[in-house]
Amino acid sequence: MQAEWIVGINPVEAALAEGAARVRELWLEHDAHNPRLLALAQQAQQLGIAVQTRPRAALERIAAGARHQGIAAHCVAAPVLDETALPELIAAAGHNTLLLVLDGVTDPHNLGACLRSAAAAGAQAVIVPRDRAAALSPVVRRAAAGGAEHVPLLQVTNLARSLRGMKEAGVWLVGLDGADDVVQTLYALDLRGPLALVLGAEGEGMRRLTREACDHLARIPMIGAMQSLNVSVATGIALFEALRQRGAGAKS
């Protein structure tokens, strides 16, 4: 079985809560005094997971550039899902289907931030192409702050074909695009019902086939000097506009 390292307080906390059976060992930095670290170590021990102390350099080595915050979990790697998982996810969610499609997002911090927003919005999956896109890594998991443990990332071989499959399953595709020919705003669309929000790569936007597959194209209106948004910011705006329209999370 393949193994992976999950680093950082929130990602490790989520791993222990959502997939403790996959966790084989916990590493704690020598002389750690952070109460959250000590609580996670105690939780791991109660679950029968070995806890080892390691020097900071050892944690930095396995963190591969991510902020480890003094903690890392050695886990059996979760299976990588692909397009074959989509029909079951859509059928299970039914009318409440909410998917996020990212066409060629290569920055791991952006992917992590999008996973975090998708998890917070209750999306069933984040879908990315297998090629020319960021994949799960310690940096992505750290940026997702535990979101990667709550929402699956699907890597699909042919994104255009997967989009067609979503449409055939009754999912409406709404693409966010800042091009001059897109005049409809996100807020003018009905985002209720089975929905996939589609966003393109940093700077380049959606590829032609992805754009053409969308049922609607919309822009996020901007009145300031800046006329573009980071993909993770745009993702958050779109997901939570869909959530607002669905009346989800309202408190009486």
Does the annotation place 71 within a ligand binding site?
Answer: no
The CATH number of whichever domain residue 32 belongs to comes to 3.30.1330.30
Angle subtended at Cα 168 by Cα 92 and Cα 150, rounded to the nearest 5 degrees: 35
Residue 97 lies in a domain: yes
pTM of the entire structure?
A: 0.82
114 domain-assigned: yes
pLDDT of residue 147: 82
Residue 7 inside a domain? The answer is: yes
Give the position of tokens 């393109």: 200
- Alpha-carbon distance of 112 to 109, in angstroms, equals 5
Domain assignment present for residue 252? The answer is no
Find out whether 147 is annotated in a ligand binding site: no
Cβ contacts of 140 within 8 Å, gap of 6 or more: 108, 109, 111, 112, 115, 134, 148
Which of these, 141, 111, 139, 142, lies nearest to 127 by C-alpha position?
Answer: 111
Please give the residue range of the domain that contains residue 190. Answer: 83-246
Please, what is the angle between helix 159-168 and helix 86-93, to 10°?
30
List, for residues 25-65, the tens digit of each pLDDT value: 999 999 888 999 999 999 999 999 999 999 999 999 988 78
Task: State yes or no: 200 annotated in a binding site.
Answer: yes
Within a domain: 168 = yes
Q: Confidence band (pLDDT; 50, 70, 90) for 180?
A: confident
Tell me, what CATH number does 131's domain have? 3.40.1280.10
pLDDT digit string, tens, across residues 70-117: 999 998 877 778 999 999 999 999 999 999 999 999 999 999 999 999
Residues 88 and 183 in one domain: yes
